[in-house]
Structure 1
Amino acid sequence: MTTPRDTPASRRVRANGDGTVYQRKDGRWEAAGYVLAPGNTRKRVHVYGTTRKDALAKLTEKIATSNRGIPAPSAQGSVGAFLTYWLETVAVHRLRENTHTRYTAVVRLYVIPGLGNKKLAKLTAKDVRTWLDHLRTTCQCCTRGLDTARDQPQCCAVGKCCSKRLSPLTLTYVHSVLKSALEHAVREEEIPRNVARNVRMGAPRPRRFEPLTAEEARAFLTATNGHRLSALFELALRTGLRKGELLGLRWEDLDLAGATASIRRTLQRTNSGGLTALPTKTESSERRIALPTECLRSLEQHRERQRQERAAAGTGWKASGYVFTRPDGSPIEGATLTRHFNTLLRRAALRRIRFHDLRHSAATFLLEQGVELVVIKELLGHAHIGVTATVYAHVRLRLQRNAIDLLGNALRNPTQPSTRPEDSDEPPVCAAPVR
């Protein structure tokens, strides 16, 4: 009598739910079975292999994944088609317009040329890693034909590669855009997992910035005297407000009697609406800050100057309600403010820095004065204190020297004479509290 164990593997009867395995006419093996599908339904899937064992292993893997509650992917289109759908129907409602514009540019310039033709359901972590490595080592001028579009080619088009490669920061941004898109595909049960998350990117070095020294800051404030926007630059340096937050300030946001300002919006230029008042960068960015006495004085002078400009403009005055405006009352462009800022830097004979470095300078001054990190975080409007700690992790040489001196005093031999005179009025050095 023949037992099931003696029956050849090709003739064994598989149990219910295990699927079927058979050989096709072309010699390949095909396995089919039912797995979990989106919407808590079941569908029949087919896998193929050169041998029976290969096809059976693939089917067993799919059934095991289904038994863990992970639905089978339903995406039949390409990565490019899904990204286009995601940008036009999902991301457009969840992102700011400028952010959506940057996402669209990243998808058009980098993701679709590299991964657009691949099937979404068959995209692997190896595909993503290979594509990112190619972006990292490829000259973008050659790949995108930037030099051929010039009137007089200078590098790639004449056989001289300029090696214009993407920076690590840009590569990380491109990777994050793909991760966001695939994460939505997982939520819609188009794919079982986000393969882009399995690709590790080296953490890019933070952008180096050189904040103003105290002497440079005083020289800058002196150069702003007499400028019609001197109150804006003083407010930027003394409070660390962002450019858009400064330009979006309205008189109704200021309480000069109570010496406070409410940050409720940011002024930015968008492709569709021009200069538009938008919500703050994050929920934590909407905050109330204290105003220094010097800023209160300069804001009072600025308000009086604005009254004179309104009287001079007459019927041509545009009542926008903003604190900082053009001479006719209309809002100020961010690029216009940058030009004024660069002019003041040249007037003060200072090195060229970004306007945003005024914000870094304010935070650095506060840090050097021993202000608690949580207070700096609230003033700057960071979402998490970890952001503040990461951005301002650098410690200037003076702070390092003070820390080293404290350590030296702690390790000094008690019998060794102190370098501090005994009759000094200064208090003894004590250990700094660890926060």
Structure 2
Amino acid sequence: MIRSKDKAVVVRKLSELRADLERVGDLPTSSQTLDQWMRYWIENVASKRVRPNTLAGYRSIVDRHIIPNIGRVKLDKLSAEHVRRMQASVIEAASSSYALNAHRVLAKALTDAEREGRVTRNVAKLLDAPRRGRTELNALTVQEAIQVIALCVDAFAADVYDPEPARWATYLLTGARRGEILGLERDRVGEYLDLSWQLQRIGDVFHCAG
């Protein structure tokens, strides 16, 4: 329904609706809120595509940054201005990195909403994503890494079982992720390391992902 005291506004909005109808073949009539759509999307769409840890990250972003800021907005009323306000709020409360993550998750969810005909366009794509702030990483120097490996070698010679030296030496020598090293099994260690598996902790449950 289009309402306005200004005839020109009514004509303009009607023209926009006609253009949307010609483009997508249908118009959204649901009064579903963004909150409702994001929760549905997490459980029924994203969960089929991404790994458990990634899904947990999506859920955290939705619960902490997207829904508190714009969750009450009707899905078909969501505008670029709403997204802009969310970005600003997240940057102020957290950081530009969190704002970038929120923008990306929202854009993914709205892409699926558009594909399903729930919205006529993805308003998140109308804005530039926030730029991630520069982070200084404190990495070991080559000499420090050599010293750590030497300590690990010394630990191997001790007559005490301790898996930590092997784990840290493998980190430094391969650059593999933590989950990949923890997921290593005996039959995957030889001339080459087979890093097909990861051990991930999802909440209180350990999950093996291939």
Pairwise mapping of residues 324-339 of structure 1 onto structure 2 (< 5 A)?
A: none
Q: How far apart in 2 are the matches of 1:234 and 1:114?
A: 44
Report the Cα distance in structure 1 between the residues aligned to 2:175 and 2:169, rounded to whole angstroms: 10
Conserved in 2, the CA contact under 8 Å of 1:70 and 1:192?
no
Give the superposition deviation at 1:172. Answer: 1.0
In the other structure, the counterpart of 1:366 is: none
Letter in 2 for 1:81: Q
2:79 alignment partner in structure 1: 124
Q: Which has the higher helix share?
A: 2
CA distance in 1 between partners of 2:168 and 2:12 (Å): 68
Match of 2:45, SS?
helix
- Deviation of 1:190 (Å): 0.5
- Go from structure 1 to structure 2 and tell me whether the alpha carbon gap of 1:62 and 1:234 turns closer, same or farther (over 3 Å shift): same
Of residues 181, 188, 202 in structure 2, which corresponds to 1:246? Answer: 181
Shift, 1:192, TM fit: 1.1
Q: Which amino acid aligns with 2:52?
A: E
Q: RCO (CA 8 Å, sep 6+): is it higher in 1 or 2? A: 2
Specify the code of the residue in structure 2 equivalent to 1:112.
I
The answer as to 2:206 corresponding to 1:275 is: yes
Structure 2 spans left out of the alignment, 5+ residues: 157-161
Which residue, 241, 245, 260 being the options, matches 2:192?
260
1:412 maps to what in 2? none
Instruction: Quote the Cα distance in structure 1 between the aligned partners of 2:24 and 2:41.
Output: 25
1:226 to 134, 155, 158: 155
Between structures 1 and 2, the one with greater strand share: 1
Q: Is the 8 A contact 1:125 1:195 kept in 2?
A: yes
**For 1:267, what is the secondary structure of its paired residue?**
strand
* 2:44 is the alignment partner of 1:89: yes
For 2:47, the aligned partner's letter is V
Q: Distance in 2 between matches of 1:53 and 1:174?
A: 36
| TM superposition outliers: structure 1 runs of 4+ over 4 Å | none
Q: Per-residue CA shift, 1:134-170, capped at 9, x if unaligned?
A: 2323xxxxxxxxxxxxxxxxxxxxxxxxxxx312111
- 1:20-69 per-residue CA deviation (whole Å, 9 max, x = no partner) reads xxxxxxxxxxxxxxxxxxxxxxxxxx423213333222212221332334
Task: Figure out how many residues of one structure are paired with residues of the other and give that number.
Answer: 203
Which amino acid in 1 is paired with 2:208?
A: A
1:370-400 deviations in whole A, cap 9, x for unaligned?
Answer: xxxxxxxxxxxxxxxxxxxxxxxxxxxxxxx
Identify the residue that residue 330 of structure 1 maps to in structure 2.
none
Match of 1:6 in 2: none
Offset at residue 194 of structure 1 (A): 0.8
TM-score by length of 1: 0.44
Q: Which amino acid aligns with 1:86?
A: W
Contact between 1:106 and 1:174, CA under 8 Å: does it hold in 2?
yes
Q: For residues 100 and 204 of structure 1, what CA distance do their matches in structure 2 show?
A: 21
